[in-house]
Structure 1
Amino acid sequence: MPLPASYFRQTKIIATLGPATESKEMLAQLITAGVDILRLNMAHATHKWVEDAMWFVREASTEVGRHVGVMMDVKGPEIRTGKVEKAFEVKTGDPFEFHIESVEPTAGVMSVSVNYPGLPGDLSVGTVVLIDSGLIRMRVLDKDDVRVRCEVLTPGSIGSKRHINLPGVFVNLPCLTTKDENDLRAGVKAGIDFVALSFVRQAEDIRTLRRFLDELKSPAKIIAKIEDQAGVRNMAEIIAEADGVMVARGDLGIEIDYHRLPLVQTEMVAACRAAGKPVIIATHLLETMISSPMPTRAEISDVSNAVREQADAVMLSGETTVGAYPLESVQVMKNIIQSIEPSVSTDLNRNLQLHEPKAKMLRSAAKLAQDLGESAIIVFTRSGFLAYTLGALRARGVPIFAFTDNESIFRQLLLPWGVEPFLITFHDDPEETIRTALHLLSERNWCQVGTTSVVITNALARGKIIDTLQLRRIE
């Protein structure tokens, strides 16, 4: 029989690569521990690092016999303070000025330059400006074409290259910077499987990136990072255009009222599930494990909540880039997932809109596999659509074994909930392909002899290829 539901993990784990994990030895351990996708954060990465990292990932995967997908997370448009000789303190009530880099600051007023010349045009009097992840708050009092004059609301220390957030302001920055485009060229050359686009504000941002990837002839899937109010407001159109969504709770928790963040997360997960698009929960999931061998009780509950909401994947960031306990973080994540998943509802995702007859057949397959008990779904796909849809149906406890002959699709199938992909050669005769797949599952102990599985594939009937749903026993 297939692995019991308590052991077959359906929620995927994404880990970010960094100094703590970039060696081939550590990568092998991460992959063996159960990481499904590795994330390359391009905020500070070089193209040589990308090339080396991809080589190490593929080599380590081959050595341990388990492959992973790779996601490049491009930096996106950011507004930051300029360089200052020495960090300085601002106090509540102090006047403060932002100025574009091409002009001199006003004499006698504390000030800092900004890297975005359009900032004065985007802001209005009364707008709140947040610096350094929201630690410092200011209110706009006045402005001209090159300067913005503010009053300090929350004191703090301002240093070089501090991030600036503008809650509720639609910033007229391009969705792809020159750095992003250069990074993507390097990533596509190295063979990335996914691109995470930062600060997605509208569906057109996704279309812009897709056109650029098409020019590079890249099949990489696009993950939209929703992390500001515009992204939340345009959630439906973004989800429709993207291949998946990341709930990027770092900046999002600054851009919206903090007490609304759990509600927005729940809304996004539900919207993605209804649209049949994978959704990733990211940021601060096990943050204390950067320096502690154990998570807090609140972090355990946070991960558990993501699993109960049936997100496709949960993501580690600092825990595996600079943390002292990267492998332990993956193990903790895996333990929580495997403990919580059996308690999740077995009801199929009834909100998923299925329009085509073949898609509706998938719902029947999921229900049949659940009713059989200790069963699995075996699907053959060249585009990945069938497997992604089956994952979106959320048949809890039913493994989805997806077979493909396309290497890119194989790695992209590592993201959707409950899908375990296999790369095989498809035969001209569909029956021969089925027998190959059943033998592989038995040989690798994914299914035991005698197990009845639901098989979705094509079949030849009087010279015509038809879609079929079959019951097959593992022999």
Structure 2
Amino acid sequence: MPLPSYRRTKIIATLGPATESEPALTRLIECGVDVIRLNMAHAKHDWTRTVIRRIRAISKKVGREVAIMMDIKGPEIRTGDVDVPIELRPGEIFDFTVKPGAERDNSEEIRSVDVNYQNLVNDIKVGDIVLVDNGIIRLEVRQKYDAHIRCCVLTPGSLTSRRHINLPGVRVNLPSFTEKDRGDTLVGLEEGIDFVALSFVREAADIVQLRGFLKQQNSTARIVAKIEDQQAISNLDEIIRATDVLMVARGDLGIEVPFEDLPIIQHRAVRTCLSVGRPVIVATHMLESMISQPVPTRAEITDVANAVYEQADCVMLSGETTIGKYPFECIRVMDSIARRVEEELAADFPEPAVFIEPRMKFMRAAVVMANEFPGSRIVIFTRRGLSAAGLAAHRPARAPILALTDNVAAVRQLRIVRSVEPYLIGPFGDPEKTLTRALDMLRDAGRVKAGDKLVIISDVLAENGDRVDSIQMRSVS
């Protein structure tokens, strides 16, 4: 019997009206989605609890545990309400007011809108750029006052209510973990989410704060740091080392930085994650046209392929699976692109990354061995998933990583790691007996067959009774 085809790159799908029903969720999981993202920007707590429980029930029914990522909103600056759209003209002088009702010099007829961030005047300086509505409207700060800033419209547009504001290069003194985030996260932790994605991470201290909160709640959820502004890029290395997973969130990031820098930042972020063994997600606008069209553009195909070529752990869908007309077609497109590119990578693979830590050098030895035997598989036993993730950081060229664990949380959290296929096995015991049980299970699952070569990372019992790490080469009987 031929072995099932194998996709290394993991797929994250965001849940929304197009995919939240039980039949749609079932189809998502059966199509091969590895992680389901909940966008908390507008989500209510009742909905959140309902869909998390639905995901868990369907995963159990389908027989495939998937991870759940809660993407919390984070700090944001928005305009206030307007009665009718304001049509901004090129060269027009326009005010952003931070204290509604504050007195202004009205000797000239100058239009304005309120902003929800009281310290805007303190943070910004003359000459800074203000971007509104995902960068569609662009203004330059000309003057500052106690309660408002006066700008000149550079790029015109129609300003409606509650539009998002970006301030490229401006250090904004907003908390990274807001009260709304705290409430949303508590609901997620009560329901057993696997990942918390922290928006607008600017420095490692933001991650340390969230980690302290998770520790207070006795949670094992992992942290995904989303890089979305220029300050995050300046602190990229320290952020990657502090977090569990990195997300290159190209939506706001693409507004905050010059567009020609975006692919360079993505490449650098992925390379740095690989060098220190952190999983990395490439997100936003990957198949944007498929929200309304049944096929992607050629540029989108190339974009997804580039993320796979860079060996990112995950690619992510947002609007494509929340409100899109073709959510399942999007999954199939990503799946087929990833598999095809991975075939090319296996034929001409780069050398594994070089790590300093002794444990990582031990893992490297297993990967080098597996690379020498086409068709081999790497089998690893792990309790929390950390060893399997460390092994995956070496990016084995051809061999899948079959991770055996006695912890269902580890199964879910390994769904985000490239090349890892997690399996839940009963309690670990005697190493040799546990290995025999594992091989029987993998054989029944169709993942190994007689004659296959396995590189096995486990512990063995020494004569003095100690358990020691080992790498073994075995053939399936």
CA contact (8 A) 2:406 2:428 kept: no
Q: Match for 1:378: what amino acid?
A: V
More displaced, 67-76 or 426-435? 426-435
Q: For residues 313 and 219 of structure 2, what CA distance do their matches in structure 1 show?
A: 23
Q: Deviations over 1:46-81 (max 9, x none)?
A: 111110111110111111111100000000000000
Query: What is the aligned residue count?
Result: 472
CA contact (8 A) 2:102 2:147 kept: no
1:66 aligns with 2:64: yes
Partner residue of 1:161? 162
More displaced, 298-307 or 359-368? 359-368
Q: For residues 383 and 62 of structure 1, what CA distance do their matches in structure 2 show?
A: 20
Partner residue of 1:224? 225
Q: For residues 118 and 253 of structure 1, what CA distance do their matches in structure 2 show?
A: 24
Instruction: Report the secondary structure of 1:427's partner residue.
Output: coil
Partner residue of 2:198? 197
Partner residue of 1:21? 19
- Equivalent positions of 1:289-308 (< 5 A) are 289-308=290-309
Structure 1 position 296, deviation (Å): 0.5
Partner residue of 2:101? 103
Q: Match for 1:162: what amino acid?
A: R
Q: Deviations over 1:278-334 (max 9, x none)?
A: 010000000000011100011001001111011000000000000000000000100
- Equivalent positions of 1:112-261 (< 5 A) are 112-261=113-262
Identity of aligned residues (%): 50
- The 1:258/1:440 distance shift into structure 2, 3 A limit, reads same
Q: For residues 214 and 103 of structure 1, what CA distance do their matches in structure 2 show?
A: 43
Root-mean-square deviation over aligned CA pairs? 1.3
1:81 aligns with 2:79: yes
Q: Match for 2:90: what amino acid?
A: T
- The 1:171/1:454 distance shift into structure 2, 3 A limit, reads same
Partner residue of 1:9? 7
Structure 1 position 351, deviation (Å): 3.4
CA contact (8 A) 1:275 1:352 kept: no
Q: Deviations over 1:368-394 (max 9, x none)?
A: 111111010000111222111111111
CA contact (8 A) 1:2 1:374 kept: no
Partner residue of 2:438? 437
Q: For residues 437 and 473 of structure 1, what CA distance do their matches in structure 2 show?
A: 14
Q: Match for 1:20: what amino acid?
A: A
Partner residue of 2:471? 469
CA contact (8 A) 1:378 1:454 kept: yes
Q: For residues 218 and 239 of structure 1, what CA distance do their matches in structure 2 show?
A: 21
Give the structure-1-normalised TM-score: 0.97
Partner residue of 1:410? 411
Q: For residues 6 and 103 of structure 2, what CA distance do their matches in structure 1 show?
A: 60
Unaligned runs of 5+ in 2: none
1:337 aligns with 2:335: no
Instruction: Report the secondary structure of 1:251's partner residue.
Output: helix
Q: For residues 105 and 456 of structure 1, what CA distance do their matches in structure 2 show?
A: 70
Q: For residues 456 and 402 of structure 1, what CA distance do their matches in structure 2 show?
A: 10
Structure 1 position 367, deviation (Å): 1.1
Instruction: Report the secondary structure of 1:315's partner residue.
Output: strand
Q: Match for 1:36: what amino acid?
A: D
CA contact (8 A) 2:352 2:395 kept: no
Give the structure-2-normalised TM-score: 0.97
Partner residue of 2:92? 94
CA contact (8 A) 1:2 1:447 kept: no
- Equivalent positions of 1:254-273 (< 5 A) are 254-273=255-274
- The 1:113/1:105 distance shift into structure 2, 3 A limit, reads farther
Q: For residues 338 and 356 of structure 2, what CA distance do their matches in structure 1 show?
A: 28
- The 1:88/1:79 distance shift into structure 2, 3 A limit, reads same
Structure 1 position 105, deviation (Å): 6.1
Instruction: Report the secondary structure of 1:372's partner residue.
Output: coil
Q: For residues 271 and 359 of structure 1, what CA distance do their matches in structure 2 show?
A: 16
Q: For residues 21 and 61 of structure 2, what CA distance do their matches in structure 1 show?
A: 14
- The 1:459/1:68 distance shift into structure 2, 3 A limit, reads same
Structure 1 position 444, deviation (Å): 0.7
Q: For residues 415 and 307 of structure 1, what CA distance do their matches in structure 2 show?
A: 14
Q: For residues 259 and 417 of structure 1, what CA distance do their matches in structure 2 show?
A: 28
Q: Deviations over 1:105-160 (max 9, x none)?
A: 63432111111101000000000100000011111111123211111111111111
Partner residue of 1:30? 28
